Amino acid sequence: MKLNKLAIAAACLLSAATVMADKKATDTTPAEDLKLYRDYFQKRFPGVSMNEFGNGVYAIDKVSRDSWVAIEDFPPYEPMMEAGETMWNTPFANGKTYGSCFGDDPAQRKNYPYWDSKRKMVITLPLAINECREANGEKPLKYKKGAIADLLAYMAYESRGQQITVEIPDDPDALAAYNEGKSFYFARRGQLNFSCAGCHMESSGMHVRTDILSPELGHTSNWPVYRSKWGELGTLHRRFTGCNKQVRAKPFKAQGREYRNLEFFLSHMNNGIEFNGPSARK
């Protein structure tokens, strides 16, 4: 089985990933992590610019990149983006709109995720969308696909070109949430006993079945994604769920604490990369 070969190859690599994984999450600061992490990927994929990493596997594989560029010429997510724009512009039953929560600007990507120091939690954009709906007497939307993905696609499109700049504030609770996300990323789980880092750092660029594993750097920039496999748009937390399931681990709840903290950690690691969602993937 290819995964076993992968595990052996991964175990042989003495890398920044191992350095980060073997230590306790609290041993290095977010700033030190960011440096280790960027250096790791830039060394592993020389010549790939920071922004290119936002294109996932297409940043490192010429063959699949060519067919992807052709797909992006007629983006399969365009109708969903239009549905999202209509949602943004359509008043709730109380006459207010999403603009009443987001200051009339749909280009909100750069503001999320962030640490809310009063509520002591990470707030992501999908969470803020549902909180806006509930504050206006509307039902919350499901988090993995459907209407929320449409709205996120429109907001992402309007935000293209903004940079990821997620800072970890000087607050022990914020640091604890970040460290929880980091530990999650390096923890082995599931029957196959793989961590996120095992696939997307130590084995990035290698094959698993018909896939090439994308580098983690850039993983939070391009959402939501239209995947041909799904035949529809899905959110980042839907993808987290899928990646947990493929190592036969029990997934966590979309927008639950675990995945929000994971997104917080990953987003900080992706600082400096431009938002380029929505995007298309295999």
Stretch 221-240 residues interacting with ligand HEC (CB under 6 A)? 222, 225, 239-240
- 57, 83, 125, 273: residue in contact with ligand HEC (rule CB under 6 A): 57
Q: Indicate whether 200 belongs to the interface with ligand HEC (CB under 6 A).
A: yes
- Whose CA is closest to 33, among 266, 277, 243? 266
Q: Does 244 bind ligand HEC (CB under 6 A)?
A: yes
Count residues near ligand HEC (CB under 6 A).
Answer: 21
Q: Which is nearer to ligand HEC, 127 or 225 (CB)?
A: 225
Q: Does 145 bind ligand HEC (CB under 6 A)?
A: no
Distance CA 64, CA 45 (A): 17
Is there binding between residue 270 and ligand HEC (CB under 6 A)? no
Q: With contacts defined by CB under 6 A, name the span among 9-17, 150-158, 167-175, 197-205 that binds ligand HEC.
A: 197-205
Least distance (Å) between residue 91 CB and ligand HEC = 34
Query: Which residues in 259-279 are b (16+ Cβ under 10 Å) and which e?
Result: bbbbbbbbbbbbbebbbbbbb
Side-chain half-sphere of 116: how many Cα atoms within 13 Å?
A: 13
- Residue showing tokens 């993937």: 281
Interface residue with ligand HEC among 78, 211, 228, 245 (CB under 6 A) is 211
Say how far apart CA 214 and CA 200 lie, in whole Å: 6
CB 261 within 8 A of CB 184: yes
The conformational region for residue 190 under phi > 0 = left, psi -120 to 50 = alpha, else beta, is left
CB of 89 to ligand HEC, least distance (A): 28
Give the whole-angstrom CA distance, residue 105 versus residue 98. 9
Q: Which is nearer to ligand HEC, 133 or 227 (CB)?
A: 227
Q: Which is nearer to ligand HEC, 108 or 244 (CB)?
A: 244
Which of 196, 201, 269, 280 touches ligand HEC by CB under 6 A? 196
- Considering beta carbons, is residue 175 or 208 the nearer one to ligand HEC? 208
Q: Which lies closer to ligand HEC via its Cβ, residue 214 or residue 267?
A: 214
Angle at 52 between CA 107 and CA 69, to 5 degrees: 85
Instruction: Please identify the residue of the shown chain whose CB is closest to the bound ligand HEC.
Output: 56
CB 51 within 8 A of CB 274: yes
Q: What residues have CB less than 8 Å from 223, skipping those under 6 apart?
A: 152, 156, 235, 236, 239, 277, 278, 279
Q: Tell me which residue has tokens 């600082």.
A: 271
Q: Which is nearer to ligand HEC, 30 or 181 (CB)?
A: 181
Considering the rule CB under 6 A, would residue 51 count as an interface residue with ligand HEC? no
Of 178 and 240, the one with the shorter C-beta distance to ligand HEC is 240
Shortest spacing between CB 187 and ligand HEC, in angstroms? 9
Interface with ligand HEC (CB under 6 A): 56-57, 194, 196, 198-200, 208, 211, 213-214, 219, 222, 225, 239-240, 243-244, 246-247, 281
